[in-house]
Amino acid sequence: MANVQVNTRSKLALLGGGKSVESNPKDVFSWPIITREHEEAVLEVLRARSMSGLDVTKKFEMAYAKKLGMEYGLGCNNGTAALHCAYFGLGIGYGDEVIGPSMTYWATLLPVYSLGATVVFADVDPNTLCINPNDIEHRITKRTKAIVVVHWGGMPADMDNILSIAQKHNLKVIEDFSHAHGALYKGKEVGTFGDVSVASLMSAKSFAVGEAGIMFTNVQYVYERALLFGHYERHNDIQSEELKKFQGLPCGGYKYRMHQLSSAFGLVTLKLYDKQMSDIDNAMNYFCDLIEEIPGITPVRPPKGSNTTKGGWFAWNALYDSEKFEGLTLQKFAEAVEAEGSICWAGGSSPLHLHPVFQTMDIYNHGRPTRIANSDNNSDYLKQGDGSLPVTESLKNIVLRGPWFRRYYPEIIKEHAKAYEKVASNYKDLLPYDDVVTFSGGYSSSFRKQSK
Ligand SMILES: *Cc1c(COP(=O)(O)O)cnc(C)c1O
C-alpha cells in the first residue's frame, strides 16, 4: 500500500502538486457486492427458464416484508413503478394534492400526474436534507390527500412530527426509502412508518438487486388496489369483493412485474445485508469522524446516541460553509478535491419545482400546465417559482456529495479524508482561480449546467 502520510500543507493537485489518494481502491467502491451464492441463485432461475415467473418474486417479497415486520410486500420492475402502485393503492386521483420535497429524484412525485393529481412542494430542513415538518401544515388544502417523505441520502426524516401532522389532518403518509434501506429512526426501521412505503432496488441504491422496486403496506385494501393497478397476473390474490369485479385487466393499463433474476439476487442480499450494512456504517462513520475535524465541512449524519442510523448510507452528503473559506465556491472546492483523487461534487440534486415539467408543461393537452390542470382557478399556490423554496434552492451551493465506501478499509478511507483536509487547509491557493468554473466530474454535472 502506498504511503498514506500526505503532507496537508503541500501543493494542491489541481495546481500541479501530488495527489492525496494514491492507493489502489480495491473493491471499496464495488457495488453491489456479488457473491458465489448470488451467482448460483441467479443461475438457478435461468436454468429453470423462469425469468417471468412469480414464485421467487413472492418469496423475496415475503422475506423482505418479514424483515421489516410489514404485512404485504409487492415487487415491481423498478422503484418508479412501485411508487405509481403506492399512489394508486392509496386512492390518489383526480384533483388531489400530494405534499413532498423538491429535493428528491423525480420518481418520488411525478407518477401522481398520470393519476390526475398534482404536487405541492415543501421546503427541506437544511440539517437533515429531508422534508421540513414546519413547512408542511400551511400548505394543506381541502385537496391534500398525502404527504410523501424521502429519507434523503439515507438520513431518516423527522417522522414523529410528520406523522402527527398527517394524523391531525387525516392525510396518508408515503415513505420513499430508496436511499435508506436498513436505516433506523429512533430504533425503528424506515419503511415501517407510512401507510405505504416504497424503495427502489436499482443497482446504485443502498439495497441493490438490479432494476427493481418494492412497495410495503399493512393495509390489505391498499395492497390489493396496487395489484389491480399493475399486476394483472396476480388478480386471483384479490379478496375484496369491491375490487374483484375488475379482475383480469390492469386498471390503468400498466404492467409492473418484477424480474425473477432480480428477486433471486435480492433473496441472497437480504441474508447478507445486515453484515454489509454494518461494514458500510463503520466505514462511513469513520470517514465522518475524520471530516468533522475540518472547520467548514459538516457531514449530514444522525446525532450520536439517538439510535437513528443511515443504514446502507446511500451517498455521503455534507454541508459546505464557504465563509470558512473566504467565500471560495463549493464548485471550486469540489474540483480541487476531485483532483486529489477523491470524490466530491456540488449540489447533489437540482430542485424539481423549477423544472418546466412542474411549471409550464402541458403533458396531456389540457390547454394549461399539467401542474394545475385539475385544480381550481384559484391555484396560485401551485406556481412555486424561483425563490419559493429558499432552503432547497440554496443547497446547490452548500451540499456536497463525496465518497460512499462499501467496505471498511481504514487506510483507504483516511486518504480520502486527507484529500478534503488538504484542500481545506490550502484553500487560499484556490481563491485566485475561483471565477474559472471548470469542474466537470460527477453525474450531476449536466444538471448543474442546466440550472446555471
Ligand atoms: C431511485 C429513486 C427512485 C426511483 O427508483 P427507480 O428504481 O430508479 O425507478 C425513487 N425515489 C428515489 C428517492 C430514488 O432515489
| pLDDT tens per residue across span 197-245 | 999 999 999 999 999 999 999 999 999 999 999 999 999 999 999 999 9
- The alpha carbon of 262 and the centre of ligand 1 are apart by a number of angstroms equal to 16
Exposure string of 26-65, with b = 16+ CB inside 10 Å and e = fewer, is eebeebbbeeeebeebbeebeeeeeeeebebbbbbbeebb
Distance of alpha carbon 422 from alpha carbon 13, whole angstroms:
10
**C-alpha of residue 256 to centroid of ligand 1, in Å:** 15
Q: Which residue's alpha carbon is nearest to atom 8 within ligand 1?
A: 79
What atom in ligand 1 is closest to the CA of residue 152? 13
In DSSP terms, 188 is beta-bridged to 185
Is 190 within 8 Å of 216 (Cβ atoms)?
no
Q: How high is the pLDDT of residue 2?
A: 43
Q: What are phi and psi of 48, to 5 degrees?
A: -80, -5
**47 is a domain residue:** yes
- The answer as to whether 2 is a domain residue is no
Closest C-alpha among 413, 155, 128, 419 to residue 289: 413
- Dihedral, CA atoms, 121, 123, 129, 134, nearest 10 degrees? -120
Confidence bin at 442 (pLDDT 50/70/90): very low
Distance 359 CA to ligand 1 centre (A): 22
In a domain, 102, yes or no: yes
Q: Is 170 exposed, middle or buried (0-12, 13-18, 19+ CB in 10 A)?
A: exposed
Pocket test for ligand 1, best of 77, 106, 108 (most atoms within 8 A of CB): 108
Tell me the C-alpha distance between 397 and 25, whole Å: 29
Instruction: Confirm whether 134 is domain-assigned.
Output: yes
Name the helix (H) or strand (E) containing 162.
helix 159-168
Average pLDDT over residues 369-390: 94
Is pLDDT above 70 for 74?
yes
Which residue, by CA, sits nearest to atom 1 of ligand 1? Answer: 200
Q: Ligand 1 center to residue 216 CA distance, Å? A: 15
Q: Residue 68 domain-assigned?
A: yes
Active-site pick, 19, 58, 145, 205: 205
Bridge partner residues of 149 (DSSP):
175
**For the chain, counts of helices (H) and of strands (E):** 11, 13
The helix (run of H) or strand (run of E) holding residue 277 is: helix 260-291
Q: How far apart, in whole angstroms, are the C-alpha atoms of residue 209 and residue 88?
A: 25
The model's confidence at residue 7, banded by pLDDT at 50, 70 and 90, is low
* Chain segment 9-41, per-residue pLDDT in tens: 689 999 999 999 999 999 999 999 999 999 999
C-alpha cell, 226:
396496487
**Number of domains comprising the chain:** 1
Does residue 193 lie within any of the structural domains? yes
| Confidence check: pLDDT of 444 > 50 | no
Residue 51 is part of a domain; what is its CATH number?
3.40.640.10
Lowest mean pLDDT among 141-145, 261-265, 447-451: 447-451
What mean pLDDT is reported for the chain?
94
Task: Name the residue with the closest Cα to ligand 1, atom 11.
Answer: 108
Residue 82 lies in a domain: yes
- Residue 72: which H helix or E strand, with range? strand 72-76
Whether residue 195 is contained in a domain is answered as yes
For residue 172, pLDDT over 70 is answered with yes
Q: Which three cell numbers stand for residue 195?
A: 401507510
Per-residue model confidence (pLDDT) at position 317: 96
Is 205 designated active site? yes
Rounded distance, CA 174 to CA 428, Å?
A: 46
For residues 415-431, give the mean pLDDT: 97
**Is the bond into 299 cis (omega within 30 degrees of 0)?**
no
> Cβ < 6 Å from ligand 1: which residues?
78-80, 104-105, 107-108, 150, 176, 178-179, 200, 202, 213
Whether the predicted pLDDT of 6 surpasses 60:
no
pLDDT at 53 over 80: yes
Whether the predicted model's global pTM rises above the 0.85 cut: yes
Strand partners, 298: 319
Judged by DSSP in three states, 451 sits in: helix
CA 406 vs. chain centroid, Å, equals: 17
Give the model's pLDDT for residue 438.
47
> Quick one: the chain helix, strand, coil %, rounded to 5?
40, 15, 45
User: What is the domain range of residue 91?
Assistant: 36-267
Instruction: Return d(Cα 45, Cα 49) in angstroms, integer.
Output: 6
C-alpha grid cell, residue 343: 470524490
In 3-state terms, what secondary structure has residue 213? strand
Q: What count of residues does the chain have?
A: 452
CB 12 within 8 A of CB 426: yes
Paired sense of beta strands 316-320 and 213-217, if any = unpaired
* Residues in CB range of 7: below 8 A, 6 or more apart: none
